Chains A and B, each alone.
Chain A
Amino acid sequence: GESVGLHLPTLSVQEGDNSIINCAYSNSASDYFIWYKQESGKGPQFIIDIRSNMDKRQGQRVTVLLNKTVKHLSLQIAATQPGDSAVYFCAENGQAAGNKLTFGGGTRVLVKP
């Protein structure tokens, strides 16, 4: 396997339980946030996004919560499955800065059967 995620914080989750991954961002001017999933040997895969005029957005088995007051972002995965094992990154998209992404440090999720 690849070395992505070797030094990242790890969240171990029992299959079927819910996962919550947290992310703090620093730029109060950021107006668009994205969660990516990166499996070993692959590029980041878009999961869900949220704009700064929202505080919650739901997708299929995933929910993103945005708290602009404390500059905190979370990703909730419902009924975690073995296929959810990956490294998860949050990213800020400064659209005023030309869609450049600033990535957070990442969290590795390990799903236990």
Chain B
Amino acid sequence: SAVISQKPSRDICQRGTSLTIQCQVDSQVTMMFWYRQQPGQSLTLIATANQGSEATYESGFVIDKFPISRPNLTFSTLTVSNMSPEDSSIYLCSVVGASNEQFFGPGTRLTVL
């Protein structure tokens, strides 16, 4: 299975600021995703991070709010822009392994004041 790390593990931010979350995988993977888990809720897909091209966003999520980079097959970043308290969530990256299993990182716990 892929080993995934995320930075930061948690942060407390002021409204109006932006936070960039990093996701690092220990092996090259084709498919990488970003999910949001709001307090007490299940996971919702934000976007597919495409290597070398623009991310593909799900309904309700836009690039201006959640810009994503994927410079290579082992790394991606998600930025939460112009944050409000409603953005307080756990943000998780995931990757698809060789056997088509999907593995998740430990998550970044964001609190916006």
| A101→B96 CA distance, assembly (Å) | 11
Give chain A residues whose Cβ lies under 8 Å from the Cβ of B4: 43
Q: Which of B1, B42, B104 is close to A43, meaning CB atoms less than 8 Å apart?
A: B104
Tally A residues with Cβ within 8 Å of B: 29
Q: Are A45 and B104 in contact (CB under 8 A)?
A: yes
Q: Are B41 and A99 in contact (CB under 8 A)?
A: no
B40 within 8 Å of A by Cβ? Answer: yes
Give chain B residues whose Cβ lies under 8 Å from the Cβ of A5: 40
Residue-by-residue, is A5-17 near B (CB-CB < 8 Å gives 1, otherwise 0)?
A: 1111000000000
Give chain B residues whose Cβ lies under 8 Å from the Cβ of A2: 90, 109
Q: State how many angstroms separate the Cβ of B37 from the closest Cβ of chain A.
A: 7
B67 within 8 Å of A by Cβ? Answer: no
List A residues at the B interface (Cβ < 8 Å).
Answer: 2-8, 32, 34, 36, 42-46, 49, 89, 91, 93, 95, 98-106
